[in-house]
Amino acid sequence: MRESAPRGLQTPDVLLPDGWAPNVAIYWDESGLISEIRLSHTDPELPLAQGPVVPGMVNAHSHAFQRSIVGRTHSFTSPTDDFWSWREVMYDHLSTIDPDRLEQIASELYLDMTRSGYTSVCEFHYVHCDPDGNLYSDPDAMSVAILNAAEKAGIGLTLLPVFYEFGGFGEKDLENHQNRFVLSLGDYCDLITRLLDRTRDNPGIEIGYAPHSLRAVNARGIHQLLDHRSQHAPSAPFHIHVAEQIREVEECTAVLGKRPIEYLFDKVAIDEHWCLVHATHASSEELALIAASGATVCLCPTTEADLGDGVFSLSSYLELGGTIAIGSDSNICVSPFEEIRLLDYVQRLRLQKRNVEGITSSIGAGTRRYLQSLFGGSQVTGRPVGHIKEGFSADLLELDAHHSQLSGKSSDEQLNTLIYSGDSSALAAVIIRGETK
């Protein structure tokens, strides 16, 4: 009996962690994990990619429900409209979202992500309760809505239930709308334990921990989460918002006596499993702390621009050896190429130079940013994704070399064209865990 054809893809060029390689055969097993990579090898039994192949991008920070307010926050009602007034509009919209509506929003969003080139998403999920702040009859209902949505879309998921205790620095009382975010420590830990049990045998899902921010969780709360993590999932990802707004830095300094990142490092041992989301207003000393720890900074350029957050000191951080990832955050945009494009262009404007890092390389600046984002994204998912290497998920983007914008260009030029000028129409295929979407 003839053996069945191997699972895999023959590529003209592939982007490996250390750069481009020509004529590569990629094989994966039944579970969608890459089993073998053969360099300078042609396998006629494998389907031939229509162009260069790159790893699918990791979306390291998403609030799915906020997709439903896109376009609804741009009619300014005051000369001082800012992040904080935007937040009030977002809170007001929460009353329309129940588990069924959340699953619908997230399913549509995740499908858009896969079509755009994201193959995994880290969902920073903080709407747990009903509009009155009470648990649903099924206390896991909102988390299950996210799990179901990811399964429908076929996207890899790191679900990060959020712990939320207070309404601001100094353990302020919660505002009414924030009651939907709050679980007691016991309820939160029970939720994590149940989710770990529910997803234990699903290679497409990881469960992590997420204290919302130093505004919403104190140092004691963070340590309590870390204690639970050490007992149940020691290597699970640990994500937190930090230093997104100048007002946040000022309030933290006034109440806690230190800047947010400085305070966090003073109170907690941070390592490569941590993801610091935004870190927009990190000082040079704080950037050095993050880089030395091995933690990842997740940058969300389109959301940070929309909310007027500010600009992260990327070149200084990268010079220190820092690690980055990208995220869609409020989901005003769900294109990894748009995020990287804006990330790079804003830095060029800030520094008034094209070569932001001052580095010469055989690969384009877009490819460098893509690889940098993959490295950090891989770290913060807790799953083997983000690289084309053995044991990792076969999450691949196949570029269309015949697309009008890509035709006649080298593989590196094609990827740079996609990042700086293109969109998902230049993708021939998106493959997640070996399955074409």
pLDDT of 1 strictly over 50: no
How far is 323 from 82, CA to CA, in rounded Å?
A: 29
- pLDDT recorded at residue 272: 97
Q: Could you tell me if residue 388 is inside a domain?
A: no
The answer to whether residues 202 and 74 belong to one domain is yes
Q: What is the pTM for the complete model shown?
A: 0.96
Q: Are 162 and 124 in contact (CB under 8 A)?
A: yes
Q: Could you tell me if residue 1 is inside a domain?
A: no
- CA-closest candidate to residue 164, choices 236, 216, 210: 216
CATH number for the domain harbouring residue 209: 3.20.20.140
The answer to whether residues 148 and 196 belong to one domain is yes
Q: Could you tell me if residue 364 is inside a domain?
A: yes
Cβ-based neighbours of 101, under 8 Å, separated by 6 or more: none
The answer to whether residues 34 and 114 belong to one domain is no
The answer to whether residues 337 and 278 belong to one domain is yes
Q: Are 38 and 44 in contact (CB under 8 A)?
A: no
pLDDT of 3 strictly over 70: no
Q: Could you tell me if residue 2 is inside a domain?
A: no
Please state the rounded mean pLDDT for residues 81-91. Answer: 79
The answer to whether residues 297 and 431 belong to one domain is no
Q: Could you tell me if residue 334 is inside a domain?
A: yes
Please state the rounded mean pLDDT for residues 244-254. Answer: 96
The answer to whether residues 238 and 313 belong to one domain is yes
The answer to whether residues 259 and 406 belong to one domain is no
The answer to whether residues 276 and 299 belong to one domain is yes
Across the chain, mean pLDDT equals 95
**Boundary (domain end) residue, out of 343, 359, 381:** 381
Burial of 98 per CB tally in 10 Å (0-12, 13-18, 19+): middle
Band (82; pLDDT cuts 50, 70, 90): confident
What distance lies between CA 269 and its chain's CA centroid? Answer: 22
Domain, as residue range, for 224: 57-381
Say which range, 80-89, 129-138, 315-324, 388-397, has the weakest mean pLDDT: 80-89
Please state the rounded mean pLDDT for residues 270-290. Answer: 98
Quote the number of domains for the chain.
Answer: 2
What torsion, rounded to 10 degrees, do the Cα atoms 362, 366, 372, 378 define? -120
The answer to whether residues 338 and 402 belong to one domain is no
Strand pairing category for 274-278 and 238-242:
parallel
pLDDT of 384 strictly over 80: yes
- pLDDT recorded at residue 117: 98
Band (2; pLDDT cuts 50, 70, 90): very low
The answer to whether residues 30 and 138 belong to one domain is no
What torsion, rounded to 10 degrees, do the Cα atoms 273, 370, 12, 424 define? 110
Say which range, 2-11, 16-25, 52-61, 159-168, has the weakest mean pLDDT: 2-11
How far is 26 from 34, CA to CA, in rounded Å?
A: 7
Q: Could you tell me if residue 386 is inside a domain?
A: no
Choice between 350 and 89, residue whose per-residue pLDDT is larger: 350
The answer to whether residues 121 and 168 belong to one domain is yes
Q: Could you tell me if residue 387 is inside a domain?
A: no
CATH number for the domain harbouring residue 17: 2.30.40.10
How far is 45 from 38, CA to CA, in rounded Å?
A: 14
Band (72; pLDDT cuts 50, 70, 90): confident
**Boundary (domain end) residue, out of 342, 361, 381:** 381
The answer to whether residues 41 and 108 belong to one domain is no
Known catalytic residues are 278, 329
DSSP 240-295: EEES-SHHHHHHHHHHHSS-HHHHHHHHS---TTEEEEE-TT--HHHHHHHHHHT-
